[in-house]
Amino acid sequence: MTNLIERLADSVPAWGARLAYGEKTTLDGHDILPVAIVFFGFGGGEGSGDDPNSAMRGEGSGGGGGGYAIPIGAYIGGPHGPTFCPNPVALVIASAPLVSAAGLALARLLRSS
pLDDT at 32 over 80: yes
Distance CA 91, CA 72 (A): 6
Q: Give me the phi and psi of 80, to 5 degrees please.
A: -105, 20
Give the containing element (helix H, strand E) for 99: helix 88-112
Which burial class, exposed, middle or buried, applies to 5 when counting CB atoms under 10 A from its CB (0-12, 13-18, 19+)? middle
**Interstrand relation of 30-46 and 83-86 (parallel, antiparallel or unpaired):** unpaired
DSSP state of 77: -
**27 vs 94: which has the higher pLDDT:** 27
Average pLDDT taken over every residue of the chain: 81
- Mean pLDDT in residue range 30-45: 83
Kindly tell me if the per-residue pLDDT of 79 is higher than 80. Answer: yes
Identify whether the C-beta of residue 6 lies closer than 8 Å to the C-beta of residue 35: no
User: Which of these ranges, 2-6, 31-35, 77-81, 96-100, has the smallest mean pLDDT?
Assistant: 2-6
Please indicate whether residue 102 or residue 47 has the higher confidence score (pLDDT). Answer: 102
Quote the DSSP letter at residue 75.
Answer: E
Per-residue pLDDT band for 8 (boundaries 50, 70, 90) equals: low
More confident residue, 85 or 52: 85
* Interval 38-65 mean pLDDT: 74
**In 10 A of CB 108, how many CB atoms?**
10
